């Protein structure tokens, strides 16, 4: 670690790069933890396959955004290091080493663990050499009828240069011998598998020999690729996939209509600069080098894989296989007693703040509140931020109904929600056509805050109701992400929410808020202030402790403040699901800091910040992680939980239960690696399992299976 962090001699230099873990390498460690769940025998088998697919999809986005950005910096000879001291060029070299190892491990898990286990359960993926004559005949008919008509082989010659290859699309590079109908001897062709074709094909009953027999589309094309080149000899066929830079660039200062500018940029996402090439492991070196030249990539950018080049395509399998015993058991989210039944939600909120803990508790009360507001003649206005909503959103439909009914509806739609841009452009257009006021936030800042404000006439008074959350207004992710939501009629809080909406939709200087903290104005300074106050309490001998849960910890000033608090004697527990650039357990610097990551069935998403404050605790929920972008380049909210009963709930359900987890938790070690905690002789404790038991209701497996079939049939 160097003299600066060895705990001896002069006070440690808290700017020492050795004290900061590289962001990108920390992310790769996170994805390695996701992959570990794919190997965990305690996880149901089809869910293990999902985790493998999640790991693969995560890695795709990592290359599309993070590696692509580093490559751009390196191309411009950028040498400015981050807090960890690594230049873009050094980061790319270390990423290549670790990413290659991670990809190799993905395919080892697939081939040595998952595929044999699935086959033992009657779920098989048949290779070409395993097809019996009857299966081969059915597959050939399927190819001729369903696949061949939509394939377009491109022979390479001066009139047909190397085609534009779609980002992450399945392609084949094919070598052929002989003359074609025009006397050409090009020798190489490219075949794209259209995205309209399913990548997994299930063999029908009577042809399959197991309950669930599948073949990959890549195998079907490979087996019959000679049909695309009649009269010629195919001497080689190899699948490949290229990953491209998918970051959209719009100079917001130079455009007069952000929606139109983003819509114009979306098609370019498919054809950005290449950043990674994946090929089948049997692809000859000469062919691989040829492909690298076409995409202007180097040897480190080549990934040879022992299996399908896109593991994420396997994510559809659990929906194709009706085996509830191989999946997580279904559950019915609970509903807080105050909102149970058909009572008036406004009256319930007036009686006191209501906390919702998703997915253990239902998201339906939030949807119902907006629906009631849309239909209520006493509701004058509805204001809401929308970052991600999903298809067929009940909340969006309610907002449309309210706008058509003549209510004042103002919606801040974040068009730049990554990979949801197209859906949000469509959402904004629909809302505008219905008569809602739609704004796209503030130039240069993403609106990431999760806020809903309802203004209602009650007698002679006008009362406001608010919902603040740590997650999106998205019904599907509310079943998969852990998040808190707060329903309140507190005049101070609702006034703050109204003021933030005024900022987002109008013009004016930032005003002082009474209870909420807001990025980019007060959140960063307030978090630093809370951390430094804990250090002062510790130095004075008063109770001092910090417990914080978030998705990522990156911002260097906050990390330095945490180091200083640890040096002052503050005990600090951090629950960081993903990236963590703080290095815990360093003598003289961070020996009082402990960092753990919890991964399981649900994606840990809520942000909870607790400060002991000398015996007068402060507890906040937030939409923001402790990252540069959240503090300085986004509009975020952070709100206190002041009701004592609710604060105890958040402490127990959002922090304490995770600190006791000895089954789904990983501990961050000083060298940047993670060690999974095991119960040993202790009673196993898994936070998510305990919260499900406490807050949700089990659903019989047969009922859950039947429900899934109904949804698929619809």
Selecting among 357, 448, 467, 524, the annotated active-site residue is 448
Q: Among 471, 491, 514, identify where a domain stops.
A: 514
390 and 482 belong to one structural domain: yes
Question: Which residues line the annotated binding site for ATP?
Answer: 58, 481, 577, 605
Considering the chain, what percentage of its residues have pLDDT values greater than 90?
Answer: 78
The dihedrals phi and psi of 302, each to the nearest 5 degrees, come to -95, 130
Whether the Cβ atoms of residue 546 and residue 570 lie closer than 8 Å to each other? yes
Determine the average pLDDT of the residues in 454-479: 95
Q: What is the mean pLDDT of residues 266-283?
A: 82
Residues 606, 665, single domain; the answer is yes
Looking at the structure, tell me whether residues 529 and 488 fall in a common domain: no
Q: What is the CA radius of gyration of the chain?
A: 27
Question: Are 450 and 469 in the same domain?
Answer: yes
Under the banding of pLDDT at 50, 70 and 90, the label for residue 428 is confident
pLDDT single digits (tens) 625-680 = 999 999 999 999 999 999 999 999 999 999 999 999 999 999 999 999 999 999 99
Reading across the β-sheet that carries 188-192, which strands appear in turn? 152-155, 188-192, 171-177, 233-244, 274-280, 302-305
- Mean of the per-residue pLDDT values of the chain: 91
pLDDT given for residue 700 in this prediction: 64
CATH of the domain at 77: 1.20.58.310
Q: Cβ of 451: how many Cβ atoms within 10 Å?
A: 25
Q: How many structural domains are present in the chain? A: 4
267-281, 339-353, 374-388, 413-427: the lowest-pLDDT one: 413-427
How much is the pLDDT for 426?
79
Provide mean pLDDT across the span 342-347.
92
Q: Is the pLDDT of residue 62 over 70?
A: yes
User: pLDDT for 173-196, tens place per residue?
Assistant: 999 988 776 666 668 999 999 888
C-alpha–C-alpha distance, residues 277 and 300, integer Å:
10
In-domain check, residue 704:
no
506 and 524 share a domain? no
- Residues 470, 341 share a domain: yes
Residues 572 and 474 in one domain: no
* 480 and 340, same domain (yes or no): yes
Is there a domain that residue 325 lies in? no
pLDDT band at 438 (very low <50, low <70, confident <90, very high): confident
- Domain membership of residue 703 (yes or no) is no
Active site residue 448: yes
Q: Do 105 and 131 share a structural domain?
A: no
What domain range includes position 263?
122-309
The pTM of this model reads 0.91
Do residue 473 and residue 366 come from a single domain?
A: yes
Stretch 302-316: mean pLDDT = 94
Q: Is the pLDDT of residue 622 over 60?
A: yes
What the block records as the tokens of 620 is: 């906040």
Least confident span in 55-59, 71-75, 531-535: 71-75
Distances in whole angstroms, Cα of residue 76 to Cα of each of 72, 73, 296, 614: 6, 5, 16, 50
Q: pLDDT confidence of 207, banded at 50, 70, 90?
A: very high
- The band of 417, judged by pLDDT with boundaries at 50, 70 and 90, is low
Split at pLDDT 50, 70, 90, the class of 420 is low
Q: Which residues are annotated as a binding site for Mg(2+)?
A: 388, 418
Give the CATH number of the domain where residue 587 resides: 3.30.870.10
**Mean pLDDT value of segment 260-282:** 74
How sure is the predictor about 701, in pLDDT bands with cuts at 50, 70 and 90?
low
Q: What is the DSSP string of 631-672?
A: HHSEEEEEEE--SHHHHHHHHIIIIIHHHT-SSSEEEEPTTS
- pLDDT exceeds 50 at position 562: yes
């Amino acid at each position: 670690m160097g003299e600066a962090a060895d705990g001896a001699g002069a006070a440690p230099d808290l700017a020492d790069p050795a004290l900061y873990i590289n962001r990108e390498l920390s992310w790769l460690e996170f994805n390695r933890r996701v992959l570990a769940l794919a190997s965990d025998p305690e996880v149901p088998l089809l869910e293990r396959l999902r985790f493998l697919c999640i790991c693969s999809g995560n890695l795709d986005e990592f290359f599309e955004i993070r590696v692509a950005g580093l490559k751009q910096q390196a191309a411009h000879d950028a040498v400015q290091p981050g807090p960890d001291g690594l230049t873009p060029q050094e980061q790319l070299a270390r990423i290549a080493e670790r990413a290659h190892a991670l990809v190799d491990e993905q395919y080892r898990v697939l081939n040595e663990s998952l595929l044999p286990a699935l086959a033992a359960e009657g779920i098989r993926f048949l290779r070409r050499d395993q097809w019996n004559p009857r299966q081969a005949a059915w597959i050939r008919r399927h190819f001729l009828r369903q696949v061949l008509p939509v394939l377009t082989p491109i022979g390479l010659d001066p009139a047909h240069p190397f085609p534009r290859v779609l980002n992450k699309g399945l392609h084949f590079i094919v070598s052929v011998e002989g003359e074609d109908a025009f006397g050409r001897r090009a020798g190489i062709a490219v075949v794209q598998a259209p995205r309209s074709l399913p990548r997994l094909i299930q063999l029908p009953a009577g042809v399959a020999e197991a309950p669930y027999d599948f073949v990959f589309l890549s195998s079907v094309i490979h087996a019959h690729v000679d049909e695309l080149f009649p009269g010629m000899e195919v001497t080689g066929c190899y699948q490949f996939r290229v990953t491209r830079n998918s970051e959209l660039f719009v100079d917001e200062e130079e455009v007069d209509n952000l929606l139109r500018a983003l819509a114009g940029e979306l098609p370019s996402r498919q054809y950005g600069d290449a950043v990674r090439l994946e090929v089948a492991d049997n692809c000859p070196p000469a062919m691989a080098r040829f492909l690298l030249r076409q995409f202007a990539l180097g040897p480190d950018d080549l990934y040879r894989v022992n299996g399908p080049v896109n593991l994420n395509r396997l994510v559809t399998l659990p929906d194709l296989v009706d085996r509830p015993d191989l999946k997580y058991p279904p559950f019915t989210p609970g509903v807080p007693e105050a909102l149970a039944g058909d009572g008036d939600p406004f009256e319930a909120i007036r009686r006191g703040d209501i906390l919702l803990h998703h997915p253990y508790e239902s998201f339906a009360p939030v949807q119902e509140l907006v629906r009631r507001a849309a239909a209520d003649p006493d509701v004058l206005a509805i204001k809401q931020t929308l970052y991600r909503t999903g298809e067929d959103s009940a909340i969006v439909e309610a907002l449309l109904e309210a706008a058509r009914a003549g209510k004042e509806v103002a919606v801040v739609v974040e068009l730049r929600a990554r990979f949801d841009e197209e859906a949000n452009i469509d959402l904004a257009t629909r809302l505008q056509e219905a008569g809602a006021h739609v704004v796209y936030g503030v130039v240069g800042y993403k609106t990431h805050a999760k806020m809903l404000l309802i203004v209602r006439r009650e007698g002679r008074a006008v009362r406001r109701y608010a919902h603040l959350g740590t997650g999106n207004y998205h019904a599907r992710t509310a079943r998969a992400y852990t998040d808190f939501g707060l329903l309140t009629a507190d005049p101070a809080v609702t006034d703050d929410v109204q003021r933030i909406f005024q900022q987002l939709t109008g013009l004016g200087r930032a005003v002082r808020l009474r209870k909420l903290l807001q990025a980019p104005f007060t959140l960063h300074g307030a978090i630093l202030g809370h951390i430094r106050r804990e250090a002062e309490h510790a130095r004075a001998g008063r109770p001092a402790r910090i417990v914080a849960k978030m998705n990522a910890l990156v911002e260097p000033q906050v990390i330095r403040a945490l180091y200083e608090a640890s040096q002052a004697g503050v005990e600090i527990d951090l629950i960081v699901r993903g990236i963590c650039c703080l290095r815990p357990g360093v003598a003289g610097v961070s020996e009082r800091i402990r960092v753990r990551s919890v991964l399981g069935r649900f994606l840990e998403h809520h942000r909870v910040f607790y400060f002991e404050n000398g015996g007068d605790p402060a507890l906040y929920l937030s939409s923001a992680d402790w990252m540069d972008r959240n503090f300085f380049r986004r509009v975020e909210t952070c709100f206190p939980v002041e009701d004592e009963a609710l604060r105890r709930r958040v402490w127990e359900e959002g922090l304490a239960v995770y600190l006791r987890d000895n089954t789904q938790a990983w501990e961050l070690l000083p060298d940047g690696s993670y060690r999974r905690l095991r119960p040993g002789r202790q009673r196993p404790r898994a936070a998510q399992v305990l919260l499900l038991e406490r807050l949700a209701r089990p659903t019989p497996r047969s009922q859950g299976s039947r429900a899934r079939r109904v949804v698929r049939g619809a």
